[in-house]
Structures are given as structure tokens and as C-alpha cells.
Amino acid sequence: MNDIEVKKVIRRAIEEDIGTGDITTDNMIENGRKVEGVITVKEKSVVAGLKVAELVFKEIDSEVKFEHMKNDGDLVKEGDKIASVWGEISSILKGERLALNFLQRMSGIATKTRKYVDRVKDYDVRVTDTRKTTPTLRDFEKRAVSLGGGHNHRMGLYDAVLIKDNHIKSVGTIGESIERVRGKIPHTTKIEVEVESIEGVKEALDNDVDIIMLDNMSLEDMERAVKLIGGNAISEASGSITLENIEEVAKTGVDVISVGALTHQIESIDIGLDVK
């Protein structure tokens, strides 16, 4: 994550929530009284977003002190105190909801990722996210995936080639698609191809791609594909991966399993802030 970008998002979020002013707090609370707020997790989870939460409070009031009692990525249990904030009560009250909104979502993603990762921890395989992220918050969500023990897939359409079904249909063949793109992209960029059959795997291998995405293949075909690839490309399983079937998929020997659900099903973790 790039702090300059993160702060821009936070400022927009503050504008969204506070707008022309927090009319409850501004009209009720006198400045001067400082309080401590303690942030507590209410269910077992992997914490993610503490640094973001800190930046939220600092952006609202640079005088606020934020103490990390746990670190991003830590596994915590119900009742664990993960951070405390100390400052003007009005600053704490204004930042509370927004800080929690980031924390709860990011921790939700990290926690879910951890569950997927744990299921396949005995296999030599990576669990990655996809581009199915919340628009404008991809960076936050990919960070949460990392904190949960997962890995990131490409950041966007600009940093790796992924030739999909619709591209191939439009160009004609896998070979022709790869040839067109290979001559133009930077030599620092990898090429991934999405295939749906063993035929596709062969064609991709013949064209010397870096990564082969096995899209919605049966477990048997996946296993055959992995053998066929034999280490000459990275194999990536994709499509309809669930907590239930991920171990079966890992058993096929694929190198990477990409899981859309990590970010398009978001179950926020229950986290609260109590002012003392």
C-alpha cells in the first residue's frame, strides 16, 4: 500500500461521513476533555486495518495518539483489545464509525482468507485473490488478503497479461493471442492464459506462457493438466472454489488457487470502540 493513496481514500471517506460537520458532536461536546477509547474484537479473527484506522484518527485530528496492542495480521480471540486511541472526545467520536468500518471489513477479509489458507496448509499451494474487489478499495482488500496469509493476484489490467475466453474468441486461437501480445508487452511482464480443457493446456504450453489458469475444470482434468504442465508454467486453479472443495483442488497439485469469494463475499468482523 502507498500511504499517499491510502490517505486520499481516507479523506474521501471522511468527507462522505462528516460532510459539512458532525452536528451531534460539534453542537454538544466542549473541546478540551480528552478520553481514551479502546478497540476490542468480539469474535475470533485475524486483525487487519489497524494502520488504516490509525490514519483515520490522525487525519481527523493529528493530535490523537493511537497505540497498537495487536498488529495487523495477528490472530485474536473474542475480547482481545487490539488498539487504544487517546485524544479529544470529539475527535474520537467523529472517527469511531469510519475507523471501525475499515477495520471490520479488512478483518473480515483477512479472517476468511485465513480459513481458506488453513485448509490447504499441508500443500505447496498459494491462495490468491482476484479482481472481484470492491471498486476503489482494491488496495485495502488485497492488503487484507495478504494479512490473512493469502497472496495477491495481479493488481489490475495493467500489471500482467491474462488472456481470457473472450479474448481468444475474438482473436481466433490461443497461439495467435499470445503471439500478438508477447511482442508488445514489457519483458518484465508475465503472460497468463485461461483455459478450459486439456487441449487448451497443451496449446498454452506450446506457446510458452508463464501461467496457465485452469478455469472451472473437473478435479480429474486439473490433475492431468498439472502433470502435463510439469513445472513448465505456473498452474492456477480458478472458478467456484469454496471452503468445502479447496482441499480437493489443492490435492491436484496446482501451484495457485484463486478465490473470488475472498473479496466478493464480505463478512465484517464485530469490532467495537468503547470510550472510557
Q: Which residues are catalytic?
A: 97, 132, 164, 194, 215
Rg over alpha carbons for the chain, rounded to the nearest Å, is 22
Residue 33 or 77 having the CB closest to its own copies: 33
Give the C-alpha distances (Å, rounded to integers) separating 213 from 53, 147, 191, 193, 263: 36, 24, 11, 6, 19
Residue 14 or 75 having the CB closest to its own copies: 14
C-beta of 96: minimal distance to its own copies in Å?
Answer: 8
With b for 16 or more beta-carbon neighbours within 10 A and e for fewer, the 18-36 pattern comes to beeebeebeeebeeeeeee
Helix (H, G, I), strand (E, B) or coil at 127: strand
C-beta of 179: minimal distance to its own copies in Å?
Answer: 9
Q: Do 104 and 39 meet the contact criterion of CB atoms below 8 Å apart? A: no
CA distance 99 to 132: 23
Helix (H, G, I), strand (E, B) or coil at 249: helix
C-beta of 238: minimal distance to its own copies in Å?
Answer: 12
Residue 23 or 219 having the CB closest to its own copies: 23
C-beta of 88: minimal distance to its own copies in Å?
Answer: 11
Q: Side chain identity at 80, as an amino acid letter? A: D
CB atoms within 10 A of CB 270: 15
| Helix 198-206 / helix 174-182 crossing angle, nearest 10 deg | 30
For the chain, the straight-line distance linking the first and the last C-alpha, in angstroms and rounded, comes to 32
C-beta of 84: minimal distance to its own copies in Å?
Answer: 15
